[in-house]
């Protein structure tokens, strides 16, 4: 009996470093099937984002959005269609980050420890993505979407003057 426990323990230790080793959130899309909580990914309006939750943006007052290395938390902000909401951005990471929405002309730069306020517009339908221009390829992105909008899916049509 005891021997069995010991073997399991040793095996467990052997596996641990492997698990810890793939904790870095860098590239390699797809293949890693991390079913652990919090490390999920999400595709918002065509951009892949490290998922750190969804929150409803308050229509009065400000909604806090944390910028960190390398994600936005919350990652998805929901609100009423066409509504303007104020976001209080905080860079709590060690790297410089930006909050960028091409279609709304927003490109807010934040040094580590910086705070800034921006006003964003919830789309009329579907989702609009925001991202950090330095770490977009690492999944530092998120989105604004219409709350309770079960009509989703078709939101990624060309709504602005995007030059694709
Ligand atoms: Cu960044």
Annotated domain spans of the chain: 41-145
What is the pLDDT, as a whole number, of residue 93?
A: 98
Question: Is the pLDDT higher at 121 or at 147?
Answer: 121
Using the predicted structure, report yes or no on whether residue 147 has a pLDDT greater than 60.
yes
**Alpha carbon of 8 to ligand 1 centroid (Å):** 41
Task: Compute, in degrees rounded to 10, the torsion defined by CA atoms 130, 27, 29, 15.
Answer: -130
**Alpha carbon of 140 to ligand 1 centroid (Å):** 6
**Alpha carbon of 138 to ligand 1 centroid (Å):** 9
Phi, psi of 156 (to 5 degrees): -95, 25
**Model confidence pTM above 0.75:** no
pLDDT tens digits, residue range 48-79?
A: 999 999 999 988 899 999 999 999 999 999 99
**Alpha carbon of 106 to ligand 1 centroid (Å):** 15
**Alpha carbon of 14 to ligand 1 centroid (Å):** 34
The three-point CA angle 67-104-53 to 5° equals 35
DSSP string, 26-52: -S-TTT----STT--EEEETTEEEE--
DSSP string, 122-155: --SSSEEEEE-TTTGGGT-EEEEEETT-TTTTGG
- CATH class given for the domain over 41-145: mainly beta
Question: Is the pLDDT higher at 53 or at 34?
Answer: 53
Of the chain, the percentage scoring pLDDT greater than 70 comes to 67
Greatest C-alpha distance within the chain? 69
Query: What integer best gives the mean pLDDT of the chain?
Result: 79
Do 85 and 97 form a contact (C-beta atoms < 8 A)? no
**Alpha carbon of 161 to ligand 1 centroid (Å):** 24
Using the predicted structure, report yes or no on whether residue 36 has a pLDDT greater than 80.
no
Over its C-alpha atoms, the chain yields an Rg (Å, rounded) of 19
**Alpha carbon of 39 to ligand 1 centroid (Å):** 17
What is the pLDDT, as a whole number, of residue 3?
A: 54
pLDDT tens digits, residue range 80-122?
A: 999 999 999 999 999 999 999 999 999 999 999 999 999 999 9
What is the pLDDT, as a whole number, of residue 148?
A: 74
What is the pLDDT, as a whole number, of residue 60?
A: 87
Do 140 and 126 form a contact (C-beta atoms < 8 A)? no
46-75 in b/e burial notation, b at 16+ Cβ within 10 A?
ebbbbbbeebebeeeeebebebbbbbbbbb
What is the pLDDT, as a whole number, of residue 39?
A: 73
Please compute, for residue 33, the number of CA atoms within 13 A of its CA located in the half-sphere on the CB side.
Answer: 0
Question: Is the pLDDT higher at 161 or at 128?
Answer: 128
Report, as an integer, the average pLDDT of 14-43. Answer: 51
**Alpha carbon of 134 to ligand 1 centroid (Å):** 5
Provide the residues around ligand 1 (an ion) whose CB is within 5 A: 97, 132, 134-135, 140
Q: What are the structure tokens assigned to 86, written together?
A: 């104020």
Q: What are the structure tokens assigned to 23, written together?
A: 């904790």
């Amino acid at each position: 009996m005891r021997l069995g426990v010991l073997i399991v323990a040793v095996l467990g230790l052997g596996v641990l470093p492997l698990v810890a080793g793939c904790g870095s959130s860098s590239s390699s899309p797809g293949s890693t099937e991390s079913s652990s909580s919090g490390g999920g990914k999400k595709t918002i309006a065509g951009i892949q984002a490290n998922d750190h939750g969804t929150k409803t943006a308050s229509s009065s007052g400000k909604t806090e959005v944390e910028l960190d290395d390398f994600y936005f938390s919350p990652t998805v902000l929901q609100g009423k269609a066409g509504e303007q909401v104020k976001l209080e951005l905080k860079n709590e990471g060690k790297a410089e980050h930006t909050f960028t929405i091409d279609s709304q002309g927003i490109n807010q730069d934040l040094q580590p420890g910086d705070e800034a306020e921006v006003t964003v517009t919830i789309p009329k339908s579907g989702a609009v993505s925001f991202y950090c221009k330095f770490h977009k390829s690492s999944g530092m992105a998120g989105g604004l979407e219409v709350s309770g909008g079960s009509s989703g899916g078709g939101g990624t049509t060309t709504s602005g003057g995007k030059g694709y």
